[in-house]
Structure 1
Amino acid sequence: MPVEDALASILAAATPITETETVPLLQALGRVLAADQLSAVDVPPCDNSAMDGYAIRYSDLAAGGELAISQRIPAGHMGRPLLAGTAARIFTGAAVPDNADTVVMQENTESVGDGIKIIAAIKAGQNIRPKGQDIHCGSVVIAKGKRLQPQDIGLLASIGATRVEVFRPLKVAVLSTGDELVEPGTPLAEGQIYNSNRYTLSALLAAMGYEVIDGGIVADDFELTCQQLQALADKVDIIISSGGVSVGEEDHVKAAVESLGELGLWKLNIKPGKPLAFGSVNGTPFFGLPGNPSSVFVTFALLARPYLLRYQGQTEVAPVITKAKAGFDWGKAGTRQEYLRAKVQGDEVILYPNQSSGVLASASWANALVVLPPNTTVAAGDDVQLILLADLLG
């Protein structure tokens, strides 16, 4: 199945959760809004000065000469209505007084006695930020379904919000499979490897704000796999496993899922990560990712993460694809859509020298994935599509 079709199928199966909670604004980073956020105020609440300078009536410039300084208005204070033929000393952010319609920056004036003389061409209305320029009272500031970024937190604070309604965080189980796996800190016997996939997946999920449940390591045994999947399905919103979904005699996860629930898709036209399973266990959504470390990283980012975001209630979930100049040659056209671990440097993108699915160092080194469609070759200087990891995982 093509990657685009698989993602569409997976997202179509995602039913967003409905349970919500209200949290303090400073604890809402990374959470998904459960309701539109409307402003009860205008931002700014009044016309204010964009510069340190002098508030004037533009019509007074026609009379020429000097303007006497009639008052001083710091930020946070309200001035008196401006008298004709005078100027108000004003500071950035201060409310523009009634009758004034223009602010002259101080660099365009010179002091003359107790007043000022304007020494540059002035336009009516300049250097004034009008009431409601940023936000109008009653408008939707941030819509339901947005995952809150740091700048969103500041924006909500600017309308006086202190608490927001968000969807509850998902609870996700991470299950590792394979007789060869041991946890870091345990001496390695011959034929064993450390379980890096658990840590990669747990960190990716924690960065999304989810509660991560360690499903442990299950041996390459059909009955044990079924027992652990059943136990986890009763405790979490979704199960994500790594390994055991290929066609080997010791790959039991696919068969276990089919016996306990259903399998919606299996085997994608993707590299790395062809053996990927998506379905359910006793009604609980299930992702079976490949066992190779780079395959886990790529398939989670491209397929599992968008599903999780949609499940969480987020509206915009598709990866953003951009372009860059290739700083590499790729002479062998493959039959699968490839996602090459890459790094954008200046105006070009280069590849990690070893693109094996077992090389996790490639994912750690990369800041982008080059998207290489099937039957495609690349010469240095060609435009290539890529996905920045900051956009993909942010």
Structure 2
Amino acid sequence: MVDWSGGNDTGARPRKDAIWAGVSRSGAADAPVYLRNRIDAETWIAALIDSEAQAGRRTLIGFDFPFGYPAGFAEAVTGDSDPFALWDWFEARIQDSPQANNRFDLAGELNLALGTGNGPFWANGLPNRDIPGLPRTKAGYENPFSDRRHAETLAKGAFTCWQMAGAGAVGSQVFMGLPVLSRLRKRFAGQVAVWPFEQLDAPVAFVEIWPSLTAGPAPDGMVKDAWQVQEVARQFAALAPADLARMLDVHAPEEGAIFGLGFEDRLKADPPLRNDCFALPPGVHWTPVDEALSLLRERLSVVTKAEDTPLDAALGRIVAQDVTARRANPPLPNTAVDGYGFAGGRGAGPHVLPVVSGRAAAGDAPGDVPEGHAIRVLTGAALPQGVDTVVLQEDVQIDGGNLRFTGPIKQGANTRKAGEDVVAGQTVLTAGRQVTAADLALLAATGLSSLSLRQRLRVGVISTGDEIVQPGETAADGQIFDANRPMLLGLIAQFGHTPVDLGHVGDDRAALRARLDGAAGQVDAILTSGGASAGDEDHVSALLKEAGALALWRIAVKPGRPLALGMWQGMPVFGLPGNPVAAMVCTLIFARPALAVLAGQDWTAPQGFDVPAAFEKRKKPGRREYLRARMRNGAAEVFASEGSGRISGLSWAEGLVELPDEGLDVRPGDPVRFIPYGSFGL
């Protein structure tokens, strides 16, 4: 989705009233792309079409300006009612560069050619130059055509295409957009179809959009145009085929139409995920771990909104869009050591240079050093004018007002160049990264005081079962203390999300339904423990099944029983096993990367290391196993018992040993894969 502009180049720094593009693929949205002028935008769009074609994907590209004018205009100008004849007409006459174009002059010429001299186009946007035929206001306005296309009469608040300047005007965008579309259509002849003028049977479709039709207010701190293209791309990408077909069923052979007009409520619907996103293919019984992870990765997408956030609140948050340096680091050439600075290198042998008064220290404003002289410099000081080389303090002698040292020394020695670390405009953090303390240093050093970050993902935790007793209460025979909820809340916090304690619910289906209903709007995702299988008291899976959004994933993993995955009022629900060991392992392996994607983070696979085993183990083929383990004396030792009820093993361990799906016999010294808890963000 592309938000267009009829104005001049808007500069290197992203800003409003520029060209922005939003891309969504397979349910995952890229960060909005800032395009500073139409030349850059046309190049970028052409490259996108090429890359998507090479990947074998079809592409729908929306542009936020009219593809046609009210009936009769095209024939009056070109002698042909075919809108593409009008596209070609504009392409042949528009003169465009990043800093200037002739759109207002051409509008005046059109008015004069149509015999009115005072319409249909109006609003000269050049403050210092009157243009023959183009009035600044509608005083005495004449228009031989309709004021609006049929689409604009239905779209409340839409502007007329005759207005060339002023807030909300689209007239200039049409003038400067149609030539680009005309060139792209010719460049990709046979590959592009334009709606609603042509059947969309080509790999690429061009459609007209109006983002304000369905995109709500932008999150705080985010450029409105950037938000709108991202949001509209998400809305269109989420359309079911039947809805898409109905929206495309429009007859407007000359004027064109606004895609989605009349379907605003459908497009504004905001389910974070489709109800079938967890559905497995028919006939699947036991799902390998890698296949389950791949399915999650493909089907989940970000649900958190972006907001502008000050640097001191950024730690642990997810970057919403690429961050570029506002200032170089270092901003000026500087000295890497304490010593004396001068210009040029020196050959072998003794050298004597007079020393100027004063010194250059970190934070000083650089002065001037005459040629053939030296100055005292301290580490980190900006190099004064006339200094490009520094000799170490330990290698010199000061004799009166002279500096004495023995060469050779190369020009530029012991100095740092401006931008040696980072140059202004360079991308320093990419979208999807979780901000670290080291990142804060980089952001501060490069002039950033705030950045666009995702709101923290809110993850609710519910424990279920009549046998559960809360810590501090009295446990009767047959009851157990709730170990899962504090563990899961702690894991969520360590992942960088916001944990929300939704409490404990006994084996009462109505009470569980009420608790899930109450969580709507409070959280973005839910983890439950217990009740996730198919027994009489497994109420989590039963309720999700009633809602028509349950998939019992029987994953070939130990420890772990089936994962109940589903949707409740638009919230993804991860039904974890009730056993604490299985609950923690399934959270680390499956829920952790899935929650990261929902939060806007890149999919993160844990880093494992091949280390010698300090244990023996015979494993049957058919499922992957995770053993509680820790490193001692350079080898991985495992907990004495594999029992899923041995909670002490979770605390004893420092990570997991992952054994592959295949059968194997592990002997001491054999290589095994050890995944430290730190690789899971713990």
Which amino acid in structure 2 is aligned with residue 8 of structure 1? S
Question: Equivalent residue for 1:53?
Answer: 339
Q: Which runs of 5+ in 2 are unaligned?
A: 1-286
Q: Structure 1 residues 104 and 356, CA, compared in 2 at 3 Å: closer, same or farther? A: farther
Once residues 18 and 187 of structure 1 are traced to their aligned partners in structure 2, the CA distance between those partners, rounded to angstroms, is 40
Q: Which moved more, 1:371-380 or 1:295-304?
A: 371-380
Q: What amino acid maps onto 2:352 in structure 1?
A: E
Q: Is 1:108 paired with 2:424?
A: no
More strand by share: 1
**3-state SS of 1:190 partner:** coil
CA contact (8 A) 2:355 2:373 kept: yes
Matches within 5 A, 1:40-119: 40-61=326-347, 64-71=350-357, 72-119=359-406
Shift of 1:286: 0.7
For the 8 Å contact 2:303–2:524, the answer to whether it is kept is no
After superposition, residues 81-230 of structure 1 pair within 5 angstroms as: 81-119=368-406, 121-230=408-517
Q: Distance in 1 between matches of 2:505 and 2:632?
A: 41
Q: Go from structure 1 to structure 2 and tell me whether the alpha carbon gap of 1:236 and 1:202 turns closer, same or farther (over 3 Å shift).
A: same
Aligned residues with identical type, % of pairs: 38
Equivalent position to 2:666, from 374, 378, 388 = 378
Say if 1:60 and 1:84, in contact at 8 Å, map to a contact too.
Answer: no
Q: Is the 8 A contact 1:146 1:316 kept in 2?
A: no
Matching residue of 1:296: 583
> Which of 571, 575, 594 pairs up with 1:307?
594
Counterpart pick for 1:275 among 562, 571, 591: 562
Partners of 1:85 and 1:352 in 2: CA distance: 72
Q: Structure 1: how far apart are the matches of 2:408 and 2:466?
A: 79
Deviation at 1:233, TM superposition (A): 4.0
- 1:393 and 2:672 aligned: no
**Residue number in structure 2 paired with 1:253:** 540
Secondary structure at 1:165 match in 2: strand
Q: What amino acid does structure 1 have at the position aligned with 2:326?
A: A
Unaligned runs of 5+ in 1: none
Q: By how many angstroms is 1:283 displaced?
A: 2.8
Distance 1:109 1:359, change over 3 A: farther
Q: Deviations over 1:197-224 (max 9, x none)?
A: 0001111122334333322222224444
Match of 2:221 in 1: none
Question: Contact conserved, 2:579 with 2:645, CA < 8 A, in 1?
Answer: yes
Q: CA deviation at 1:290?
A: 0.6
Q: RMSD of the TM alignment (CA)?
A: 2.1
Deviations 1:209-261 (A, max 9, x none): 43333222222244443343333345421111001123444323212211123
Deviates more, 1:321-330 or 1:303-312: 321-330
SS at match of 1:66: strand
Cα displacement (A) at 1:152: 0.9
Mapped to 1, the partners of 2:487 and 2:408 lie a distance apart of: 61
Secondary structure, in 3 states, of the residue corresponding to 1:146? Answer: coil
Structure showing greater relative contact order (alpha-carbon pairs closer than 8 Å, 6 or more residues apart):
1
For the residue of structure 2 that corresponds to 1:75, the secondary structure is: coil
Write the letter of the residue equivalent to 1:77: D
Distance 1:180 1:151 in 2: 45
The CA deviation string for residues 62-97 of structure 1, in whole angstroms up to 9 with x for no partner, is: 673323322421111134333333322111100112
Write the letter of the residue equivalent to 2:681.
Answer: L
User: Does the aligned pair in 1 maintain the 2:348–2:407 contact within 8 Å?
Assistant: no
Tell me the CA shift for residue 274 of structure 1.
Answer: 2.8
Task: Quote the offset at 1:24 in angstroms.
Answer: 1.8
Letter in 1 for 2:327: V
Checking the alignment, whether the CA contact within 8 Å between 1:177 and 1:219 is kept in structure 2 is yes
Instruction: Determine the structure 2 residue equivalent to 1:33.
Output: 319
The answer to whether the 8 A contact 1:109-1:120 is kept is no
Could you say if the C-alpha distance between residues 219 and 383 of structure 1 is closer, same or farther in structure 2, counting changes exceeding 3 Å?
same
1:25–1:153 CA contact under 8 A, matched in 2: yes
How far apart, in 1, do the equivalents of 2:575 and 2:628 lie? 22
Pick the structure with greater CA Rg.
Answer: 2
SS of residue matched to 1:173: strand
Q: 1:4 to 1:91 in 2, by over 3 A?
A: same
Aligned residue for 1:229, secondary structure, equals helix
Residue 174 of structure 1: CA displacement? 0.8
Residue identity matched to 1:27: A
Aligned partner (choices 331, 334, 351) of residue 638 of structure 2: 351
- The structure-2 alpha-carbon separation of the partners of 1:194 and 1:119, relative to structure 1 and needing over 3 Å to count, comes to farther
State how far apart, in whole Å, the 2-side matches of 1:342 and 1:393 are: 17
What letter corresponds to residue 362 of structure 1 in structure 2?
G
Give TM-score scaled by structure 1 length. Answer: 0.93
Distance in 2 (CA, whole Å) between partners of 1:52 and 1:347 is 43
Shift of 1:120: 6.4
Query: Is the 1:43–1:132 Cα contact (8 Å) retained in structure 2?
Result: yes
The question of 1:363 aligning with 2:650 is answered yes
CA distance in structure 1 between the partners assigned to 2:318 and 2:302 by the alignment: 11
Say which is worse superposed, 247-256 or 112-121, in terms of deviation. Answer: 112-121
SS state at 1:339 partner: strand
Q: Aligned partners of 2:369, 2:349: CA distance in 1, in Å?
A: 16
Asked if structure 1 preserves the Cα contact closer than 8 Å seen for 2:363 and 2:381, the reply is yes
In the aligned structure 1, how far is the partner of 2:514 from the partner of 2:367?
Answer: 77
Which whole-Å CA distance do the structure 1 matches of 2:521 and 2:315 have between them? 29
Q: 1-side partners of 2:392 and 2:492: how far apart?
A: 50
Pair 165,284 (structure 1): closer, same or farther in 2 beyond 3 Å: same
Q: Using a 3 Å threshold, how does the CA distance of structure 1 residues 63 and 118 change in structure 2: closer, same or farther? A: closer
Q: Quickly say closer, same or farther: Cα 1:247–1:120, change in 2 above 3 A.
A: farther
What is the number of equivalent residue pairs in this alignment?
394
CA contact (8 A) 1:66 1:112 kept: no
Report the CA distance between 1:157 and its aligned residue: 0.9
* TM-score, normalising length: structure 2: 0.55
Match of 1:341 in 2: 628
Once the two structures are TM-superposed, the CA of residue 177 in structure 1 deviates from its matched residue by 0.9
Offset of 1:169 from its aligned partner?
Answer: 1.6
Cα distance between partner residues in 1 of 2:406 and 2:474: 79
Structure 1: how far apart are the matches of 2:419 and 2:309? 27
The answer to whether the Cα contact below 8 Å between 1:56 and 1:100 also exists between their aligned partners in 2 is yes
Superposed displacement of residue 176, structure 1: 0.6
Q: Post-superposition shift, 1:346? A: 4.8
1:379 maps to a residue whose letter is R
Amino acid at match of 1:199: P
